[in-house]
Structure 1
């Protein structure tokens, strides 16, 4: 049970106001003094759309005084029946407001279109499906070879505008039927293997899956006059030193060649480390810390940059909307 002692609000004109019997005691700058005076044990953060930097500052100040911090979902999440107050997670602390995001341009790009997403049950592909739904597409064909992955996505989203298609895009006949049936205007090609050490030991399958799939999908996009083809690539394609990076670099070159010969606009978007994505190093780091084990890094002086999945996909949609064919977009990963 909670016993609220007061509100804190950055609007200084609200100081002293009483809301539902609870007084506004000051601004965020007064947290320390209020906490001492009122013997505060827990702070609940309910600032809509708070960015990661401000949240990190608040959490640090509270923890220095032994105060527990928890967070309430945004108003939009409350409308989605997410009523639970929860502990602050790493993704909350890393959140940033996307810069130069042109929602109107993305809306124009997606609205009323037939969208096809390969690798739709994966972490990136599923977020592309979620975000495209916000912009009122005509239909989204969510394609994946993982039966359970598609089932889970369908359980989460449902939605009459999404068609859940089970199949392997390495099979040309399947892809041809897929294109005839759904006639996409836009293809987001997110299907790929990306576990770097594993692909070092399975080179032929890495080539067959990553390069082979991209070649088949690119041929199909050209054949069926798809307006826009977006390849999800990686920063490991820059001077590649791994099999995964090399396959992705070849995929980039492949679609750039297609772009010169096709009416379809082919673009690629390079990702860095995406927090929470399948294969992300962060869960491994957290498990090592939790287990009291050393954190395994490639080099003590290495600098890592991370981005949240939803932030990354917002920028993918932006890049796709402004792309005119042939570009390789690189996401600004922000501060390390």
Structure 2
């Protein structure tokens, strides 16, 4: 005979409670609205706690934005047991790792790789120490870079072979590389493509030319997500990945990225560069699995549009 516990609850019921619940989205709606409708006996505060503590997943990735817009046929997973924490270091967190790759989310202010002036506390040095804890002979290889003041997703390889596989097949391997950019002023065109040839000056500043003989072709697609009288929030997709490409092209359309004095910005309302590597989707070079990572929209970005 099974006895009830002190609170009068039947222990067997706790054992039978599912570890997760999957729900299919039928119509476009905000995440919080969907959860309140589909999770019985949970208050608004209960659901917000689930979101805050990363119990809600979309396509197996935690989502914490209560107003995230869901699309039909997406699957929302409620994980009732707390998932293991992402491995965090000062300045970055590891969001995916296997025998071949590491995907991180880098904070603004962190260098991708060492310079003559700074050797330590870079994304590269932090990850190098991380893999050497697993085995002293382990090494890390950078696949692409983000500017120091740009936050968001970066991909690293765990061997030179994987690094070469990714870099040599970059255009075929990378399926989506999406940034968020906060620019000065109201961008009039709702969407557009900017094409130019980027050249680096002696002062190490990139600029656009229309002469293919002197620069590298750069193609940037953008879509306006939000705007007001002072700022615009752009979703930016890169067709090419040139140095400072988004920053130069934002200047070219006379809407420089906030906080980017190097490329013409006059304001810095969020005390950082308004550029974030939001989504990274690619085919795994070994397993051929389709991987997609999406970070939260920086709170400071959205605050400008409230």
Same fold (TM over 0.5): no
Q: Report which of the two has the higher share of helix.
A: 1
Q: How does the TM-score come out when normalised to structure 2? A: 0.29
Q: How does the TM-score come out when normalised to structure 1? A: 0.28
Q: Report which of the two has the higher share of strand.
A: 2
